Amino acid sequence: MHQVKYGTKTIDFNISRTNRKTLAIEVHPDSTVQLVAPENALISDIKEKVITRGRWILKQQYYFEQFLPHTPIREYISGETHYYLGKRYILKVINDNYKSVKLKGGQLHITSPDTSNHKVKALMASWYYEHAKQKFKSILDEAILKFKKEDVVLKRMDIKRMKNRWGSCTCQGVVTLNPELVKAPSKCIEYVILHELCHLVIPNHKKEFYDLLEQKMSNWKKWKKHLEMELK
């Protein structure tokens, strides 16, 4: 991953090398920027080109970001609705001498001697993170089995909050997932993981990438749409 400063903004981008003679810049629907550069192109020249096209890149990212799912502003008080694995739970904040986060029926119980908004938020974030780590690993272990033919090498899985992405991957075999994804149904999580694993085979979003994704999950469009439109 490389980056340049464009005004007050930072543009992150990946580079793939081919035997082409010119540099191509692609902005994908997940707001990622992919450059396809000649084998002998200097990094300094590539960065200069990104800066030259900075206004266009940011405009494209802004357009795609309009369609990205968003989470409403939360106050972390009793009565709010929160998601876990695609199901809605009513938050119930309980003041007591111990700390715990539990699912009970259709409610998410958070107990703490300090029930201030920021404390409840912190307890919930920790609970989501731990559950995300377990759930993501379980789905990832199953998903990687679908790539035996492609001989995909996964180095590790990271969990990191990302503003405009559910997941990302590097050519070194590191898949990063947003812990917020654990709020979505398991099939949505599977879709994101398969999407990232496909990138370990095909780094860009050309036709070959979507053909591969179709092989691994024939109904991926359904779960992509659910993730984008229904998880509010």
Using pLDDT thresholds of 50, 70 and 90, give the confidence band for residue 232.
very low
Dist. CA 180–CA 71, nearest whole Å: 9
Determine the pLDDT at residue 69. Answer: 53
Residue 38, helix vs strand vs coil? strand
Per-residue pLDDT at 72 exceeds 70 = no
Dist. CA 91–CA 203, nearest whole Å: 40
- The residue that leads in pLDDT, 43 or 20, is 43
Using pLDDT thresholds of 50, 70 and 90, give the confidence band for residue 32.
confident
- Tokens 């993501």 identify what position? 136
Tokens standing for residue 104: 């009970």
> Tens of pLDDT along 134-161?
999 999 999 999 999 988 889 999 998 8
- The residue that leads in pLDDT, 232 or 103, is 103
Spatial CB neighbours of 87, under 8 Å, sequence gap ≥ 6: none
> Tens of pLDDT along 96-131?
999 999 999 899 999 999 999 989 999 999 999 999
Beta bridge partners of 104: 107
Dist. CA 213–CA 218, nearest whole Å: 8
Per-residue pLDDT at 173 exceeds 50 = yes
Average pLDDT across the chain, whole number: 88
Q: What percent of the chain has pLDDT over 90?
A: 55
**Alpha-helix runs per DSSP H in the chain:** 43-52, 54-65, 117-143, 186-199, 207-216, 220-229
All domains in the chain, ordered by first residue: 2-65 (no CATH), 81-128 (no CATH), 137-229 (3.30.2010.10)
Using pLDDT thresholds of 50, 70 and 90, give the confidence band for residue 68.
low
Q: Is 201 exposed, middle or buried (0-12, 13-18, 19+ CB in 10 A)?
A: middle
Determine the pLDDT at residue 59. Answer: 87
